[in-house]
Structure 1
Amino acid sequence: MPHPQRAARIAGGLYLLTVVTSIPALALKAPVLSDPASAAGGSAALTWAALLEVVLAAACVGTAVVLYPVVRRQGETAALGFVVARTLESGLVLSGVIAMLALARVTGAAAPGLVAIHDGAFLIGPGLIPAANALCLGYLLYRSRLVPRVIPLVGLVGAPLLIASAIASLFGVTGQVSAVAGVAALPIALWEISLGLWLVVKGFRAEPLATLMAGRVAA
């Protein structure tokens, strides 16, 4: 296992990498996915979006792998939950990638079905699972005080909002890409960006880290 402070900075960098890959990927694929008939003409955009999302999926798993040896000292069950949720999110992202790559190579009646597969994977993966990530990791970081408590608190508050938004989209109450969904996702986005920035710049807080590494679980 790398030194905890080095692990913190690696994890922070990976969190920021998920942000800088997800935003351009969405911008590239959204116009094509909204009009499946034009998928063949937008194959280059879909291919670049797919490449970015492969990097995104790898970064997602990387955050869990790097943080697990540290945060498990605060709570084994929640730490394992974080690893499982992050891995599941990555798998669903890759499912969407496969659908996009197939969409870039087919035309006709198959296109809407592939878009539906992508949208379903996106709804459950990046649309819902980050709430589970925030609940598991946010709880561990809040209890351990490895970062300022306001950072995980944002994630813990944002998780129920994201869950509610995903359920509303699932049942057709709101659109999957809508103003409501965007607002509901803001706290989780803020949590991940602020956590990434803090870990890259500051790392873990020294005193709570020493307490945790000594085997004393924070209250």
Structure 2
Amino acid sequence: MQTSNTPDHTRPPTFQPPRAPFRGVATTAGVMYLITIVASIPAQFVSYAPVLNNADYVLGAGADTRVMWGGLLEVITALACIGTAVVLFPVVRRQHEGAALGFVTARVFEASLIITGVVAMLSVVTLRQPSASGADAAARLVTSEALVAAHDWTFILGPGVMPGINAVLLGYVMYRSGLVPRAIPAIGLLGAPLFLVAGAATVVGVNEPGSVWTALATLPIFAWEASLGVWLTARGFKADAVRRLCAGDQASV
């Protein structure tokens, strides 16, 4: 007679499906991509609005807390921006190490421009002094205008140009490797030239940052990054593509 303390060897072992290769990497990268989207939009178009839309902000009542929250969201965006590249690097370098390294460098450069813009916006908050008058008030206005101009250029050269370069580098690797459905990187690869042309036109003064052309050029890049983030978070890398990359590493040893 079997007691309750005797193990039941007749019971079949519980089956545990194998974990998909690099599943944690894919999920982390996907979440970070979504964070860059969720955090950046309110920062630029909501939180910074009091400073960007009011030339006399430094002499008025201000909305410092709102602007500082925007700065925090931008810092989160910059860190997540770097995180997407650092997390993906060990995987995508197996397909093309040069493109993977270029992607990391481009993301770090983009993040540095974002942080520069944050410093400019928070500096305006520091300068705000409603009681200033005369030469002091004039100096604060001039300095504030310069800081806002610096922020505007960091936005043009950062989020206004670098996502197109990122789409070319990472999109190429993702398309060639098949780590995600090829329709996803194809959106980025097709949209990148239009985005870069619009960005270059803005830099030389032919196009405006908020123009219809800019909005249309941004849509494919937004769709590429959003779809990549959702796919990596929900599904991860395609297992057969990961196996091919790993097999290629072993064959090259």
2:126 counterpart SS class: coil
Which residue matches 2:94? 73
Distance, in Å, in 2 between the alignment partners of 1:45 and 1:172 is: 30
Partners of 1:140 and 1:149 lie apart in 2 by 10
| One-letter identity of the residue aligned with 1:8 | A
Deviates further, 164-173 or 149-158 = 164-173
What displacement does 1:216 show? 5.9
The match for 2:190 among 144, 157, 163 is 157
Quote the Cα distance in structure 2 between the aligned partners of 1:59 and 1:20. Answer: 11
| 1:30 matches 2:49 | yes
Among the aligned pairs, what percent are the same residue?
48
Paired AA for residue 29 in structure 1: Y
1:197 and 2:230 equivalent? yes
| Amino acid aligned to 2:156 | L
Distance 1:81 1:215 in 2: 21
Give CA deviations for 1:70-112 in whole Å, capped at 9, x if unaligned: 0000001000000000000000000000001001122421111
Which structure has more helix as a fraction of its residues?
1
Q: Aligned pairs, how many?
A: 215
The residue number in structure 1 matching 2:211 is: 178
In the TM superposition, what are the counterparts of 1:125-144 in structure 2 within 5 Å?
125-144=158-177
Q: Take 1:68 and 1:210, find their aligned partners in 2: how far apart are those partners?
A: 17
Within 2, Cα distance between the matches of 1:169 and 1:148? 32
- Which SS does the other structure have where 1:215 is aligned? helix
Displacement of 1:45 in angstroms is 2.0
**TM-score of the aligned structures, taking structure 1 as reference length:** 0.94
Greater Cα offset, 17-26 or 173-182: 173-182
Q: Deviations over 1:45-90 (max 9, x none)?
A: 2211100000000000000010000000000100000000000000
Structure 1 residue runs of 5 or longer lacking an equivalent are none
Match of 1:48 in 2: 69
Q: CA RMSD in A?
A: 1.4
Of 68, 72, 90, 2:111 maps to 90
Code of the aligned partner of 2:73: L
Unaligned runs of 5+ in 2: 1-20, 128-139
Distance across 2 between alignment mates of 1:185 and 1:42: 29
> Is the partner of 2:160 in helix, strand or coil?
helix
Q: 2:8 is matched with which residue? A: none
- Classify the secondary structure of the residue corresponding to 1:17: helix
- Alpha-carbon contact 2:50-2:57 (below 8 Å) kept: no
Inter-partner Cα distance in structure 1 for 2:198 and 2:48: 22
Aligned counterparts of 1:31 and 1:156: Cα–Cα separation in 2: 36
What does the per-residue CA deviation read over 1:7-48, in whole Å, with 9 as the maximum and x for residues that have no partner? 001000000000110111122213421223125513222211
The SS at the match of 2:236 is coil
Aligned equivalent of 2:28: 10
Residues 36 and 115 of structure 1 are in contact (CA less than 8 Å); yes or no, is this contact kept in structure 2? no
